[in-house]
């Protein structure tokens, strides 16, 4: 039974925790990111987004006026370092080749916010951004500031690395979101024209191609669903089916460059391109490999294709990749991509805590993949992973005041080591204001602003409640409208109430039974109850004024890692509900590795202020090894210990009280 998300404009998040997050995005994050896109944030790495759009617009205008545009740059390398923006040459491109995507992601997030509530200032900033994008679109509808400014004749010659189709995908996502939020067609027209430009060159019976960084696949599927225009699904299917087949399109384009440089050509087999998930046809894939964000975006596109084409073979491939990514390669925090070498997936069970990469965007990609798997066939294992990624790694990506961000999400941090050890150069002990490669902050904004689309989906006869986020929302059930209110507060407990505020309908409301729930009680008079794949289906007549309640037991849990994970051997971590906990220096002093957890000890749940919010923390008895004057090595004897009370805070809230040690897994 397939399902689709409810329109965001029909969902009002009222949840004490999530409403604050969404408002933070609106009031602090989006305005800040707009300043960043315009290079007006002192002390932050420049974005160059508006700069590049304006420079490209001048080039395009010159060409449209019949003049010539001779670029002063060559499309070499992935990043063009710029000076201080005040000293920048107004006609040059600066930053990463995929810089255009940052602004597209920002527009997408802003559109979701505008679907939730009007905001004239935000709307007019988006309009400025759209005007800038429209002006940078070439006469033949091509749109990419990097190639416009470095030589348009070179476009589509390095799809492997130069992210044209990635920027295109983000443009499409933004355009559909904007149209759905405001009814405005302008950005959608720009995106459709660019899609058509791509479709004139690539597709069945035309040139073969596939994106080096996936997203175009899921974006085109979304464009197809939004417009009903079949050519976008055809193009998405084409990109998926070309991927990993011989002759490798990446090898062919590399060889074209090598020929120009007088270098010998390489074999055109696909097997060298596992980093790009282009080493075998996607339908044959069994293991999540290579760059983690790309892999998750590919999986999302594959899941869309499996659903929209009703393609069981593609679904089987999705299931295998899900198993690999989630059952063998996911951190307890829902992060994926264990190695900083290439921001990539490592071997199964290789999940180091201190050198973890676990990019925020990769966890976001896992959320995308999970929602799409749920749309195909509801099963709480997808929702459990989605919730784990969301409540832990995704949330950790942003400070509680919305002013700084993590790109990398380690599970163990010693700031002294981060500052001095090159092996940890990628690990920041404090969130950063912005990044030269700023993929994560706007990705967090777009996901959190569209949270409702992950909380609920519906098919004709069933409404699915995936995430327990307090909200008021409207849905249809078997063609009849219902206004519903969901009350929950997972930061406190697992009590859920669903009330019918208005309307009457017959059908099923399916509630996910979270994997963390240690039993549940259900009060649902006059409803037939059935459990399937981790969902409780309550079927019957739903009428105004009625209420059903669920109470999921939410004890503190002590988790262990699979014995094959070397890094978690002999350690435990604490969890409660969707939250994974960690110890921080701010509460427990330095040298956290000397703490010894006592798995049998009962933990108390208390509320503590952390930065601007009050959060549930755990207090639990533990021991601390006394380490005074010990030689480097000595004969073993039972260590001297002191009794301590360990304070554990939700992982997502770490690094909000200055720099200090942190660890998720505790020795015991
Ligand atoms: O390459 C575009 C984005 O930048 C990727 O998704 C991130 O991992 C970062 O490399
Ligand atoms: Zn990122």
Q: Does residue 9 have a cis bond before it (omega within 30 degrees)? A: no
Q: What is the pLDDT at residue 43?
A: 85
Ligand 1 pocket test: which of 168, 358, 361 has the largest number of ligand atoms within 8 Å of its C-beta?
361
Beta-carbon contacts of 75 under 8 Å, excluding residues fewer than 6 positions away, are 97, 146, 147, 150, 151, 154, 158, 162
Task: Kindly state if the Cβ of 439 falls inside 6 Å of ligand 1.
Answer: yes
Ligand 1 pocket test: which of 439, 440, 441, 444 has the largest number of ligand atoms within 8 Å of its C-beta?
439
Q: Write out pLDDT tens, residues 305-363.
A: 999 999 999 999 999 999 999 999 999 999 999 999 999 999 999 999 999 999 999 99
Residues 543, 572, single domain; the answer is: no
- Assess if residue 99 is contained within a domain: no
- Give the position, in ligand 1's atom list, of the atom nearest the Cα of 293: 6
Task: Kindly state if the Cβ of 293 falls inside 6 Å of ligand 1.
Answer: yes
Examine the pLDDT at 251 and tell me if it is beyond 90.
yes
Task: Kindly state if the Cβ of 107 falls inside 6 Å of ligand 1.
Answer: no
Q: What is the pLDDT at residue 123?
A: 97
Examine the pLDDT at 436 and tell me if it is beyond 90.
no
What is the distance between the alpha carbons of residues 197 and 204, in angstroms, rounded to a whole number? 15
What percent of the chain clears pLDDT 90, i.e. is strictly above it? 96
Catalytic residues: 343, 439
Q: What is the pLDDT at residue 75?
A: 81
Q: How confident is the model at residue 44 (pLDDT cuts 50, 70, 90)?
A: confident
Cα dihedral: 344, 350, 353, 355 (round 10): -50
Residues 563, 523, single domain; the answer is: no
Q: What is the pLDDT at residue 68?
A: 85
Residues 573, 639, single domain; the answer is: yes
Q: Write out pLDDT tens, residues 192-239.
A: 999 999 999 999 999 999 999 999 999 999 999 999 999 999 999 999
- Among the bound ligands, name the one nearest to the CA of residue 291: 1
- Give the position, in ligand 1's atom list, of the atom nearest the Cα of 292: 8
Q: What is the pLDDT at residue 200?
A: 98
Task: Kindly state if the Cβ of 361 falls inside 6 Å of ligand 1.
Answer: yes
Task: Kindly state if the Cβ of 343 falls inside 6 Å of ligand 1.
Answer: yes
Mean pLDDT score, 64-79: 89
H-type alpha helices, 27-151: 30-37, 49-64, 100-116, 120-136, 145-150
Question: The pTM is what?
Answer: 0.98
- Among the bound ligands, name the one nearest to the CA of residue 98: 1
Residues 611, 563, single domain; the answer is: yes
Examine the pLDDT at 627 and tell me if it is beyond 90.
no
Task: Kindly state if the Cβ of 344 falls inside 6 Å of ligand 1.
Answer: no
**Closest protein CA for atom 3 of ligand 1:** 439
Examine the pLDDT at 1 and tell me if it is beyond 90.
no
Q: What is the pLDDT at residue 434?
A: 86
Q: Write out pLDDT tens, residues 14-39.
A: 999 999 999 999 999 999 999 999 99
The number of folded domains in the chain is 2
Examine the pLDDT at 365 and tell me if it is beyond 90.
yes
Domain residues for 595?
557-667
Residues 663, 561, single domain; the answer is: yes
Q: Write out pLDDT tens, residues 369-399.
A: 999 999 999 999 999 999 999 999 999 999 9
- Assess if residue 300 is contained within a domain: no
Mean pLDDT score, 554-570: 98
Examine the pLDDT at 429 and tell me if it is beyond 90.
yes
Span from the CA of 555 to the centroid of ligand 1 (angstroms): 37
Q: What is the pLDDT at residue 400?
A: 97
Examine the pLDDT at 187 and tell me if it is beyond 90.
yes
State which of 524, 552, 580 marks the end of a domain.
Answer: 552
* Exposed / middle / buried, residue 86 (Cβ in 10 Å: 0-12, 13-18, 19+): exposed
> How many C-beta atoms surround the C-beta of residue 85 within 10 A?
15
Q: Write out pLDDT tens, residues 170-181.
A: 999 999 999 999
Ligand 1 pocket test: which of 164, 343, 366 has the largest number of ligand atoms within 8 Å of its C-beta?
343
Examine the pLDDT at 10 and tell me if it is beyond 90.
yes
Q: What sign for the dihedral angle of Cα 188, 191, 193, 199? A: negative
Mean pLDDT score, 483-491: 98
- Assess if residue 516 is contained within a domain: yes
Residues 484, 541, single domain; the answer is: yes
Residues 567, 493, single domain; the answer is: no
Query: Residue 459 sits in a domain of what CATH number?
Result: 2.60.420
Task: Kindly state if the Cβ of 93 falls inside 6 Å of ligand 1.
Answer: no
State which of 508, 533, 552 marks the end of a domain.
Answer: 552
Task: Kindly state if the Cβ of 80 falls inside 6 Å of ligand 1.
Answer: no
State which of 518, 552, 586 marks the end of a domain.
Answer: 552
- Assess if residue 483 is contained within a domain: yes
- Assess if residue 322 is contained within a domain: no
Ligand 1 pocket test: which of 211, 216, 291 has the largest number of ligand atoms within 8 Å of its C-beta?
291
Q: What is the pLDDT at residue 76?
A: 82
Strand partners, 580: 575
Residues 569, 622, single domain; the answer is: yes
What is the distance between the alpha carbons of residues 181 and 173, in angstroms, rounded to a whole number? 12
Examine the pLDDT at 629 and tell me if it is beyond 90.
no
- Assess if residue 532 is contained within a domain: yes
Residues 563, 650, single domain; the answer is: yes
Q: What is the pLDDT at residue 88?
A: 95
- Among the bound ligands, name the one nearest to the CA of residue 213: 1
Task: Kindly state if the Cβ of 161 falls inside 6 Å of ligand 1.
Answer: no
Across the chain, what does the average pLDDT equal?
A: 97
**Closest protein CA for atom 9 of ligand 1:** 439
What is the distance between the alpha carbons of residues 74 and 458, in angstroms, rounded to a whole number? 49
**Closest protein CA for atom 6 of ligand 1:** 293
17 closest CA partner among 553, 556, 651, 468: 468
Tell me, letter by letter, the H, E, C secondary structure of 262-294: CCCCCCCCCHHHHHHCCCCCHHHCCCCCCEHHH
H-type alpha helices, 261-379: 292-308, 312-322, 360-376
- Assess if residue 566 is contained within a domain: yes
79 and 97 Cβ atoms separated by less than 8 Å: yes
Examine the pLDDT at 526 and tell me if it is beyond 90.
yes
Residues 461, 541, single domain; the answer is: yes
Least confident of 323-332, 375-384, 512-521, 625-634: 625-634
Residues 541, 584, single domain; the answer is: no
> How many C-beta atoms surround the C-beta of residue 188 within 10 A?
22
Residues 480, 564, single domain; the answer is: no
- Give the position, in ligand 1's atom list, of the atom nearest the Cα of 101: 2
Task: Kindly state if the Cβ of 98 falls inside 6 Å of ligand 1.
Answer: yes
303 closest CA partner among 248, 216, 369: 369
- Assess if residue 486 is contained within a domain: yes
């Amino acid at each position: 039974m397939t399902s689709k998300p409810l329109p965001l404009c029909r969902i009002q998040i009222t949840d004490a925790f999530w409403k604050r997050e969404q408002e933070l995005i609106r009031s602090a994050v989006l305005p800040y990111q707009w300043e960043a896109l315009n290079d007006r944030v002192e002390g932050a790495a420049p974005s160059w987004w508006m700069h590049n759009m304006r420079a490209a617009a001048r080039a395009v205008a010159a060409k449209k006026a019949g003049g010539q545009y001779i670029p002063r740059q060559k499309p070499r390398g992935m990043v063009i370092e710029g000076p201080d923006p005040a000293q920048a040459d107004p006609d040059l491109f600066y930053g990463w080749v995929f810089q255009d995507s940052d602004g597209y992601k920002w527009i997408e997030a802003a559109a979701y916010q505008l679907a939730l509530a009007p905001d004239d200032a935000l709307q007019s900033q988006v309009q400025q951004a759209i005007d800038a994008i429209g002006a940078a679109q070439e006469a033949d509808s091509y749109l990419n500031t990097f190639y416009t400014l470095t030589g348009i004749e070179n476009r589509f010659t390095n799809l492997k690395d130069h992210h044209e189709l990635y920027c295109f995908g983000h443009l499409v996502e933004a355009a559909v979101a904007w149209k759905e939020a405001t009814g405005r067609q302008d950005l959608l027209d720009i995106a459709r024209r660019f899609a058509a430009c791509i479709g004139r060159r690539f597709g069945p019976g035309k040139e073969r191609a596939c994106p080096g960084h996936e997203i175009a696949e899921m974006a085109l599927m979304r464009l197809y669903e939004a417009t009903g225009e079949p050519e976008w699904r055809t193009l998405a299917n084409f990109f998926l089916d070309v991927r990993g087949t011989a002759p490798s399109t990446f090898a062919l384009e590399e060889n074209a460059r090598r020929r120009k440089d007088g270098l010998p050509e390489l074999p055109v087999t696909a097997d060298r391109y596992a980093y790009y998930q282009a080493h075998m046809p996607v339908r044959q894939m069994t293991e999540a490999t290579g760059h983690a964000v790309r892999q998750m975006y590919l999986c999302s596109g594959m899941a869309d294709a499996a659903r929209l084409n009703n393609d069981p073979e593609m679904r089987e491939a999705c299931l295998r990749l899900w198993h690999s990514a989630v059952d063998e390669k996911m951190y307890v925090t829902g992060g994926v991509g264990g190695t900083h070498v290439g921001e990539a997936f490592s071997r199964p069970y290789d999940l180091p805590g201190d050198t973890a990469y676990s990019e925020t965007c990769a966890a976001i990609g896992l959320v995308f993949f999970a929602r799409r798997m749920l749309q195909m066939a509801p099963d709480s294992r997808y929702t459990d992973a989605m919730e784990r990624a969301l409540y832990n790694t995704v949330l950790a990506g942003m400070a509680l005041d919305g002013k700084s961000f993590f790109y990398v999400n380690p599970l163990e941090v010693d700031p002294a080591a981060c500052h001095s050890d090159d092996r940890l150069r990628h690990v920041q002990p404090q969130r950063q204001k912005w990044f030269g490669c700023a993929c994560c902050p706007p990705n967090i904004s777009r996901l959190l602003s569209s949270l409702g689309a992950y909380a609920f989906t519906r098919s004709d006869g069933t409404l699915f409640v995936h995430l327990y986020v307090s909200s008021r929302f409207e849905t249809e059930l078997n063609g009849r409208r219902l206004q519903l209110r969901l009350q929950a507060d997972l930061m406190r407990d697992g009590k859920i109430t669903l009330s019918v505020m208005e309307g009457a309908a017959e059908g099923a409301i399916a509630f996910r039974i979270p994997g963390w729930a240690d039993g549940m009680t259900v009060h649902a008079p006059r409803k037939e109850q059935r459990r399937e794949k981790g969902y409780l289906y309550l079927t019957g007549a739903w009428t105004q004024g009625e209420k059903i309640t669920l109470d999921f037991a939410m004890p503190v849990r002590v988790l262990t890692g699979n014995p094959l994970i070397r890094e978690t051997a002999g350690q435990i971590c604490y969890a409660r509900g969707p939250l994974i906990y960690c110890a921080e220096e701010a509460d427990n002093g330095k040298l956290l590795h000397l703490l010894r957890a006592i798995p049998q000890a009962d933990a108390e749940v208390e509320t503590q202020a952390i930065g601007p919010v009050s959060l549930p923390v755990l207090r639990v008895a533990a021991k601390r090894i006394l380490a005074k004057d010990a030689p480097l090595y000595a004969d073993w004897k039972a260590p001297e210990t002191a009794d301590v009370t360990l304070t554990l805070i939700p992982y997502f809230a770490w690094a909000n009280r200055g720099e200090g040690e942190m660890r998720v897994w505790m020795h015991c």
